[in-house]
Structure 1
């Protein structure tokens, strides 16, 4: 059975709906998108080069190796800045995990370590260049927009990272240079953030989060002649970086001193005996 309604009731309902719609429109007009919501990442690319880690045995004192590069670049659009504000947009990176062991047969091993990270006192440590905290660098890695501006600002920020260390052929706490290095193991993990920071208020906007990892294992036969001792066991190709669907917050340690290079310590851990500090932290 169909019920009918008085025309006056339908008229009243239409008036209510109309006013609600007008109210929504007015609300949208009165509350434009905030600056925070208007910064747009137009394009983001990240990768680790496909070439394997290369090994250099040119020196009779140290073995050197060079890992493939991690790379990240982003095209960013910054809307007009109405106020006298300065925003810096760029890359911040932190190390979340580090294993870096060099084994010398049955003598023991040397190990580059980050004590606070190793002991679980902090979740991550800054991987800044050590000068431009908290940024990874200040050339291609960042761009600064000084307000007020009338137009959108479009630009690209990029960074790259890899390892190129030297490992002594002989035991690092010995005066002897007799080759005894037998293997190298390295496994490090990083989080890299694309970030916008207000220089006056320190307001920090995380625009994108990337995770990546670098692993390698090198087997060494110290009995073989120089130039023929070391072989890369794994991996031939690194895992590709992961762009997270949901951004992660930046730990406070990733924003301040010390950075990983200044905080790391080289330890000698003999098979028998107490550990020895070979190179203390700079910071």
Structure 2
């Protein structure tokens, strides 16, 4: 999980300001404990442990369940998160200051065109959509419900809503998503060269190291046993170039894309058959993987 270091996330950040809560996390790393066991291990009362557990649970770090024990009902605690990454820079390398912006979430099933080749498939949180490894089902009307999709090579393309008005032009664009390679079943050593294009211009290429499935995805439904989660990546296009996770990857600037009022904005995710590592694409929505989001887009304009 990636977390912006901002005041709106204080409920999570405050969890690490207490030595007792950090010690609890250390204990739960070994396995589940009930309230009494935590209290005994920490040398504090059960009432104090209960308060700390409540704070950790509200922050999404710990999950609890009530079980019937020898002496009545007991609350068992376990870690919900495996990792938490703190992001200090919460926008593109050129920070938003006195300019206005808007943000949208694009469901991953809401692509407007595609050209995919097997292995490929679509899932909603409840079921498979169509047949696996048959690209025809990427045209099935139910594809808009997909929250996990994958393909061995090819592309999916999205139309980003354009809310710019008048003479406004985009000053920067930031797109974040959860993504990884695509191997049959899964293979964590399966590199893939994934290309991101905006308005027909390739702005960045990133090599994903693998297709991850050895650990359960936090939000992946229990019935799905193949690819579990991806990596959270942030693509930023600014006046100074294009960046992935703050690292400059190309000299394509926001001016090159001509993102302005009244123009279509197209975003394409592709793995070319001619790539050095043609390892496919797996794309996660909020119902799968480790991050409860779809494709998140922020467009900053030049209006004052």
Given the two structures, how large is their TM-score scaled by the length of structure 2? 0.23
Compare the two structures and name the one with the higher strand fraction: 1
Given the two structures, how large is their TM-score scaled by the length of structure 1? 0.24
Q: Which entry has the higher C-alpha Rg, 1 or 2? A: 1
